[in-house]
Amino acid sequence: MTLKYHITTFGCQMNVYDSEMMEGIIASRGWERAASEADADLILYNTCVVREGAEQRAMGRLAQLAALKRANPALVVGVTGCMAQKEAERLFEALPHLDLILGTRAIPRLGPMLDRVLATGERQVCTEILDDSFVADVVPIRQRPLKALVNIILGCNKNCSYCIVPQTRGREVSQAPEKIIAEARTLAEHGYKEITLVGQNVNSYKGIGESGEPVDFGGLLRRVSAACPGLRIRYITSHPRDCNEAHISAVAESSGVCENFHLPVQSGSTRVLRKMYRGYSRERYLHLIDRVRSAIPDATLSTDIIVGFPTETEDDFRETMSLMEAVRFDSAYMYMYSPRSGTRAAADHGELSIEVKKARLAELIERQEAIQAEINRNLIGTRVEVVVEDNAPRTPGDLLARTRGDKMVIIPGPADWIGRLMEVEITDANGHTLHARADQGAGDGARNGSISVGGETSLSHCS
C-alpha cells in the first residue's frame, strides 16, 4: 500500500520553498500526496514564529492532531520550520503525539529520520545547523505551475532587535551561481514563465563562481537574466542596507528582472530605526528610494512596516505616516509589533498597549489603501505587460494576470491564454486589483510566441 503525506505550510517564502524540498524528499521515497490530513500516514507542519499569532495558529492546529493520532497510532506527526528550530524541547513536552522535529537547516536529514520513525516508532529530533544545508540532488515538488521559487541564500546575518529569524535560520550561506542558473534554465525549459529568487536577505548574497570569483547580488541578477532570456525574474526580500548601485543598475539593465523593489522600511522614525538596529536612518532610506526612482522611473515599490515598537511615541508614528506619504508605496505589509522571547526588544521596557498599537495600525492601513488606490487609478489607459497566471477565482470567464510591477490584473479571455505573456490596456482599478483588456488578436500573437514588448521578443526559451 502506498504511504501518503500531508504538509501544511505557515510563514514566509523560505518555508514555502522548504516544504517543496521536503515534498521532493518524501515523494522520492515513493510516497504520494494525501487529499486531507485524515487520509495521511505522515502529517508535517512547517511552522513560523515571526509573530505570536503565527505561533499560536500552528500550536492550536498541532494540538488538534492528537485525536487523529489516537484513532491511528501508526500516523507520523512532525514539526519542521522555525518553531521546530527554536522550541524543539518544549514541543516534545507539550505535544506527546509528536514523532518528529526537524530544524530549518537540517532538511537533508528528513529521509533517514522518517525511515527511523517508521522502523522503530521512536521520536526523532534534529536541529543541527548543517554546514551545507542546501538540499542537493532533490527535485522540489513545486506548488504552482508557471511561477517557481529558487532559494539563493539561507540564514540571516543581521541583528534586528525585534526579530527572531536569525535564531531560527542560522548564519548566511549563499548557493553557487552556477547551481542557481542551472535551476533557472531547467525551470524555463519546463514552461515556467517566472522565478522568484528567495532568501531572508537576497541582496546580501555572496556567491563564489566556478573560477573562484566573487558574485554579488547584482552580478547574480545579470547572470540569471542573461542565461534565461524571456524568463521573468523577481526576488524577495531585499534589505535597504544592502541595496547598492550594483543591485539597482542590475535591475535597470537586465531585461528579465522585474522593476519591483520590496524594501522593508519598518519605521519612518530614525530614533526607532536605531532601536531596531536596522542600520539606516529615515533620510538614508528616502535617499535610497530617490536613487531607485532616478535609475528606474517606473519601478514599483513595496515595504514592510511595524507599528507600536516599544517606546514608539505619537511623533515617531507620525514620522512613519509621513514617510508613507513621501514614498507612496504601491503596496505594504503592515504589522503590530509582537514581542518574541529571546530577542533584545522583548527585554526592553516601553511596550505599548494593544489599543494604541491597533489604532496606529488601522490608521496606517487606511492611508496606505487610499494611496495605492490612487496610484492604481492613475494607470487607467496605460498599456502594461502581463503574464496570465490562472482563471480568476470569483468571476468565471476572467483570467488572473500579473504585471512586471507585481500588480494583479483581471482580464476577460479564454483559459488557453494561461501561461502567455501579453500586453494589455488598463481599463479600471482599485487598491488591490487592476482590470484590463487584451487587444483584438493579442491571444493569437501570444500563441505564436511573438508578442513584442519594449522592442524585444519576450517569449523565448532559456538558452
> Cβ of residue 16: shortest distance to ligand SAH, in angstroms?
14
Give which of ligand SF4, ligand F3S, ligand SAH, none residue 51 binds (C-beta under 5 to 8 Å, depending on kind): ligand SAH
| The one segment of 4-12, 157-165, 372-380, 389-397 that binds ligand SF4 by CB under 6 A | 157-165
Q: How many residues bind ligand F3S (CB under 6 A)?
A: 13
Task: Give the shortest CB-120-to-ligand SF4 separation in angstroms.
Answer: 37
Specify whether the CB–CB gap between 410 and 392 falls below 8 A: yes
Please, is 408 exposed, middle or buried when counting C-beta atoms within 10 Å of its C-beta (0-12, 13-18, 19+)? middle
Does residue 293 interact with ligand SF4 by CB under 6 A?
A: no
Among 79, 109, 90, 103, CA closest to 168: 103
Contact in structure between 326 and 335 (CB atoms under 8 Å): no
- What are the phi and psi torsion angles at 378 (to 5°)? -65, -15
Q: Does 150 bind ligand SF4 (CB under 6 A)?
A: no
- Which partner in ligand F3S, ligand SAH, ligand SF4, none is near 82 (CB below 5 to 8 A by kind)? ligand F3S
Among 125, 156, 195, 426, binds ligand SF4 (CB under 6 A): 156
Q: In angstroms, give the least distance from the CB of 80 to ligand F3S.
A: 10
**How far apart are alpha carbons 237 and 461 in whole angstroms?**
27
Kindly tell me which residue out of 82, 154, 160, 451 binds ligand SF4, with binding defined by CB under 6 A: 160
The answer to the question of residue 202 lying near ligand F3S (CB under 6 A) is no
Pick the closer one to ligand SF4 by CB: 98 or 163.
Answer: 163
Closer to ligand F3S by CB, 164 or 292: give it. Answer: 164
Shortest reach from residue 347's CB to ligand SAH, in Å: 13
The answer to whether 33 and 24 have CB atoms below 8 angstroms apart is no
**Beta carbons of 366 and 358 less than 8 angstroms apart:** no
The binder of 306, among ligand F3S, ligand SAH, ligand SF4, none, by C-beta within 5 to 8 A per type, is ligand SAH
Contact letters for ligand SF4, residues 235-254 (x by CB under 6 A): ----x---------------
User: Distance between CA 162 and CA 335 in Å, rounded?
Assistant: 12
Determine which residue in the list 106, 165, 299, 375 makes contact with ligand SF4, applying CB under 6 A: 165
Closer residue to ligand SF4 in complex, CB, 126/153: 153
Q: How many CA atoms within 13 Å lie on the side-chain side of 164?
A: 24
**Contact status: 49 vs ligand F3S (CB under 6 A):** yes
Interface segment toward ligand SAH; rule CB under 6 A; list 82-90, 162-170, 209-217, 224-232: 162-170
Distance CA 212, CA 151 (A): 21
At closest approach, how far in Å is the CB of 205 from ligand F3S?
17
How many angstroms separate the CA atoms of 423 and 443, rounded?
A: 10
Binding segment toward ligand F3S, per CB under 6 A, in 12-20, 221-229, 250-258, 434-442: 12-20
Is residue 123 classed exposed, middle or buried when 0-12, 13-18 and 19+ CB atoms within 10 A define those classes? middle
Alpha helices in 121-172 (DSSP H): 165-169
Residue recorded with cell 532570456: 229
Burial of 235 (0-12, 13-18, 19+ CB in 10 A): buried
Dist. CA 185–CA 179, nearest whole Å: 10
Residue 170: contacted member of ligand SAH, ligand F3S, ligand SF4, none (CB under 5 to 8 Å, by partner type): none
- Nearest-approach distance from CB 228 to ligand F3S, in angstroms: 27
Q: Are 340 and 309 in contact (CB under 8 A)?
A: no
Q: Which of 31, 51, 138, 256 binds ligand SAH (CB under 6 A)?
A: 51
Distance CA(81)–CA(102), nearest Å, equals 7
Chain residues binding ligand F3S by CB under 6 A are: 11-12, 14-15, 48-50, 81-82, 164-165, 168-169
Chain residues binding ligand SF4 by CB under 6 A are: 156, 158, 160, 163, 165-166, 200-201, 239
